Amino acid sequence: MALVPLFPLELVLFPKAALPLHVFEPQYRALLRHCLLHQEPFGVLAIRQGAEVGGQAASFAVGTLAHIEEVSRLPDGRSDVLARGGERFRVRRRVAGAPYPRAEVEPLGDLPSAWYASSVVGDLRRAYRAYRRSVRGLGLEVPLFEELPQDPESLSWAIADHLLVELSARQELLEERRPLVRIRRELSLLRREATFVDLGLANRLIRPPRYTVN
C-alpha cells in the first residue's frame, strides 16, 4: 500500500479528467509543496459531509490520484494548479503526523472483462448526442461525441466527466469496476437527464406568463 496526501473536494475526479485548483489554505499549500518536492501525485476524495474549507470533512473511501501538470505561484503564497486524474484508489487507513490529511491506499482497477459490443457503443453515441442537444437548450455546452476519446476506457471516463448529474451518481460511476456495467449506467443517466431537461424546457415554454401587481 502507498502513503498518499489527500485533498478532499466537493467533486468527483475521474481518470484522465482535468482538475484546475486554487490552493490557498495553509494545509494544502504544505501538501502542494510536498508533492512538488517529491514529484508525487495527491489523492482526491469527494466529500460526503462537511465543507472543503475549514473543519473536518467526511469523504468517500474511493478516490482518484491527481498528477500535477502545471503550477502558477501567486505573490501571496497561493497557487493555481492544473492536475489530471490518474489511477483510482481505495483508502485503507488514515495516517496522522502531517499538516494535511494522509492515508494508506491501494489501487482500484477495473475487473478483467470484455469491453463493449459495437451495439453498446452505438447506443452510447445516440444517447450522448440526444443529451447534448438537451443541455444546449439550457445554454450549457459539452463536447461533440466525435471530440471525445475513442478508445473504450477513455471514452467511458470522458462521458462520466461530462454528465451533469448529482455527486452521488458520479461517485457510483467512479467506484464501478465492471466496465460494461459502468457504461450501461452512463447510458441510463444520459437518457434520464435528457428526459428531465426536455420536460423542464417544455414546462417552461407552456407555463402561463406571470403578471406583477403594482
Note the pLDDT tens digit of each residue in 146-175: 999 888 888 899 999 999 899 999 999 999
In angstroms, the CA 86 to CA 33 distance is 20
- pTM: predicted TM-score of the whole model, two decimal places: 0.87
Phi-psi region of 148 (alpha: psi -120 to 50; beta: other; left: phi over 0): beta
Helix/strand/coil (H/E/C) assignment for every residue in 22-80: EECCHHHHHHHHHHHHHCCCEEEEEEEECCCCCCCCEECCEEEEEEEEEEEECCCCCEE
pLDDT interval class at 26 (50, 70, 90): very high
Return the higher-pLDDT residue of 103 and 49. Answer: 103
Measured over the CA atoms of residue 79, residue 82, residue 56 and residue 164, the dihedral's sign is positive
Hunting for cell 491501494 — which residue is that?
A: 106
Strand partners of residue 103: 4, 94
| All domains in the chain, ordered by first residue | 2-107 (2.30.130.40), 118-206 (1.20.58.1480)
Q: State the pLDDT at residue 111.
A: 86
Long-range contacts from 116-119, C-beta under 8 angstroms, 24+ separation: 116/152, 116/179, 116/180, 116/183
Q: State the pLDDT at residue 211.
A: 32
As a whole number, mean pLDDT of residues 186-200 equals: 87
Name the nearest CA neighbour of 26 among 91, 100, 117, 122.
100
**Type and span of the H or E element at 121:** helix 118-136
* pLDDT of 203 strictly over 80: no
In angstroms, the CA 159 to CA 131 distance is 11
Backbone angles phi, psi at 204, to 5 degrees: -65, -35
